[in-house]
Amino acid sequence: MKRTGARLADGREILYYDAKDADDGASRAVPDTRDLDPSELATTSEVRRDPLLGDAVVIASHRQGRTHLPPADACPLCPSTPGRTSEIPAPDYEVAVFENRYPSLAGDTGRCEVICFTPDHGTSFAELDEERAALVLAAWTDRTAELSAREGIRQVYCFENRGAETGVTLAHPHGQIYAFSYVTPRTTRMLATVAAHRERTGGNLFDDVLAREQADGSRVVLEGEHWTAFVPYAARWPYEVHLYPRRRVPDLPALGDEARAEFPRLYLELLRRFDRLFERPEPTPYISAWHQAPTGGGHDREDFALHLELFTVRRAADKLKYLAGTESGMEAFMNDVRPEDAAARLREVASP
């Protein structure tokens, strides 16, 4: 992998990732000719604590003006052309990462980056080949390592939202990378449960969950030599899959070479199965989220298990899973599909 760095017109960082080292990088380090005001980067983000729950909540009112569902010929994530400049000055790229122009987190609150998986506006992650998927994994890993080492960063979160149904505001195949100045509420709850399990049993909860799913088998969707994908026992979403490396590691940089090499094939197969779930012409909307350990040391890091959670907000061909009053108001999830049935359906739509 080769990484080439440059700066956008307002001073934001942009990084190009290429699978091969043949190019000298000159074609990537194209200057950004747009007239952007660096002062517009100032944000009003702040982190507040919910006094009843203790959860951190980011207040980011400046994001109201961000780009929202532009037409394809005005996409800011496509490569720039002689007649149209975008967020990516280069005329072509493989994978590109840059600081978000409208970040939820900035300065003392953290950092937000956009990762573009391909220059092709009309495709999706599921349509990438294994080499490109491996390059995306390498970029996620590189950004996790670099951002985790920054002062004040407590957790790095790589994720993709696909489809307008998930709230996506740009249709181009892309994801985001958030570097939080705090440990997120979901991870905090996981760590508390893991610590209680260790105190009670002496074992690791992540290891025990994976072993139980492998032994039961009814919810296992896909297995490789180094990864296992399963529908969780108490899935919140109608179609939800968790992908675990068989050897527990805290984050993406800690993945072994063999697990890293196997990941693209298995992940692409999962995404393609999601697209075949409902027999609809348009791709299935989904959220794909890497859960990584907090930065630093101690049991929080040692006991955590890197894993990916993939789920769709669609529950049937013509129905979406909306968060109802019990879920939005009380976080009491109620699933319309038995996890065992969801797993059976995901096995049924395997690639021929």
CATH of the domain at 107: 3.30.428.10
26-33 long-range contacts, Cβ below 8 Å, gap at least 24? 27/90, 27/91, 27/92, 28/4, 28/90, 28/93, 29/4, 29/5, 29/90, 30/6, 30/80, 30/89, 30/90, 30/91, 31/6, 31/89, 32/6, 32/7, 32/8, 32/85, 32/89, 33/9, 33/85, 33/89
The answer as to whether 292 is a domain residue is yes
Domain boundary among 184, 212, 235: 184
The Cα–Cα gap between 97 and 168 comes to: 18
Task: Give the ranges where 202-324 is alpha helix by DSSP (H).
Answer: 205-216, 257-276, 299-302
Any idea which residues carry the catalytic annotation?
Answer: 174
Per-residue pLDDT of the chain (352 residues; tens, 9 = 90+): 999 999 999 999 999 999 986 455 557 778 999 998 886 666 678 999 999 999 999 998 777 667 777 888 899 999 999 989 999 999 999 999 999 999 999 889 999 999 999 999 999 999 999 999 999 999 999 999 999 999 999 999 999 999 989 989 899 999 999 999 999 999 999 999 999 999 999 999 999 999 999 999 999 999 999 999 999 999 999 999 999 999 999 999 999 999 999 999 999 999 999 999 998 888 999 999 999 999 987 778 999 999 999 999 999 999 999 999 999 999 999 999 999 999 999 999 999 8
Query: Are 163 and 177 within one domain?
Result: yes
The Cα–Cα gap between 257 and 134 comes to: 11
The Cα–Cα gap between 186 and 340 comes to: 24
Domain boundary among 135, 154, 184: 184
- Domain hosting 101: range is 2-35+48-184
Query: Are 129 and 233 within one domain?
Result: no
With tokens 């088998």, the residue in question is 217
Question: Is the Cβ–Cβ distance between 188 and 117 less than 8 Å?
Answer: no
Query: Are 191 and 271 within one domain?
Result: yes
Tally of domains within the chain: 2
pTM: 0.95
The Cα–Cα gap between 45 and 15 comes to: 24
The Cα–Cα gap between 201 and 203 comes to: 5
Query: Are 278 and 309 within one domain?
Result: yes
The answer as to whether 40 is a domain residue is no
Domain boundary among 138, 169, 184: 184
